[in-house]
Chains A and B, each alone.
Chain A
Amino acid sequence: MRSFIRRYPRMVIGASIILAVICLAIAAPILFPFSPWEMRGAPFEPPGSPGFILGSDALGRDIAAGLAHGTWVSLLIGGVSTLASLGIGISLGALAGYVGGRVDDAVMRFAEFFQTIPSFLLAILLVAIFRPSIFSIITAIALVSWPPVARVVRAEFLSLRKREFVQAAEVLGVSHFRIVWQTLLPNALPPVIVLGSLMVANAVLTESALSFLGLGDANWMSWGFLVGSGRSVIRIGWWISVLPGVAIVITVLGLNLLGEGLQTWLNPRLSKRDLP
């Protein structure tokens, strides 16, 4: 164990941070057994005021409670949107890498298209046009973040396909589906796992940026929502935006450390170009 820590210090630090964040999410209802939307006192109370460890917002809501309750919404948005974009990316990448030829070409052009256009602007457009809701936010994030996954999976598939065990399976008449599902995918997974942890971090950042621009879901208290609600009153109550921002930094830092640690641990072939 000790040698593991010494060998992969980043991964351990990252994992500890994420674990702590998850604990906070779980403990939120115990620490703050009331709705984070509840107005519990005077507005614009600075951090450290009686009853408000981290201050209160423009409506007298408790920032600390909002932070704690918002944790799981932020993680949920990060996690679900990452799963969705992994789904898209793996399917398309596998298709391109396995079938090859024109299909490969088409998929790669498609991915290139999504990678070149200003993706954050596209996400803004999607959320604005389809109304800010937790669903549209997750969809938008997933839609703009799948191309790296597709690229990585495709590259893995291309190199794996030439390997003897895959060619042997083909000669033996194993169905394409089984080859992809049982032989190729498991071997292509390590870099995807690494990418996944970095994508959760990116999704948390994107959600907060969307919320900052006023595109958060008003029914779900998330860190991004807190940050956005403080934007216009930054000169009166800086803590409303800054403290949730710090929570985002810590979490994203943890996820990045975890991802880097995983990368050295699993040592997959992951091109720098594909890192988000």
Chain B
Amino acid sequence: MSSGILQVASALWLRDMIRFKKEKSRWLGLVSQPLMFWFLIGFGLNKVVSIPESGTNYLQFFYCGSLVMCVLFTTLFGAISLIEDAQSGFLRAILVSPAPRIGITAGKIAGLVTLVAVQIALLLVFVPVAGLAFADISWFLLLAGVILGSAVLSAVNLGAALLINSVQGYHAVMGLILFPLWIISGAMFPIPETGLWSWIAALNPMTHIAVLFRAGLIPSPHGAESWLHLTILGIQFLAALWFATAMTHSRKARHV
């Protein structure tokens, strides 16, 4: 009897899916929140804000930003379930098992990535409303952005949730760090390409997610650069996976 990474990950992924299916109130928030942001901010600023040299209006520009917000909020709030698991003792019961820790982390990440993917798929219904065309979508870049981007943010948020180990504290700290990072990721407005901004942007995973979403939804001659952003996200994912897995070894995770 030995548990493999895939078996553990799939069991925990299935658990998250069953829970999601049962918690119908969560379905409502799936698309309503990002849609509301997009409609209110996008339509509100569309006539007064222009995006120079992009060939898009603000509604289209912020549509991509709203999708990044989906990734952020779903992974941010989804990671809270791990704090609840730690405090209820469920996680402790999992951690005393012979299951490889990376399988436990991978299962939680897979659950959050699936939720983000469902959310983004539902929001894609509004592509024509944004004035974009399904025929122009680069599905590979969009899918890669969704999977890698949500995997990075899931791992960061799960690791932080175990480190902070308090729902209120986690909300306060992560809201303080991640929400400003979303604003300066290029989701709301284009960011300068020089100076300190460019360094922060390079380290900020949401910058790369925003670039990939935009490249996936809006045809651009700079498609080749997408590989650079995918590579950076890949490296960030490995680092975040290590961080989240290392945190499962902490006593806080075992709640003892």
Tell me whether A and B are bound partners. no
Interfacial residues, chain A to chain B (CB-CB below 8 A): none
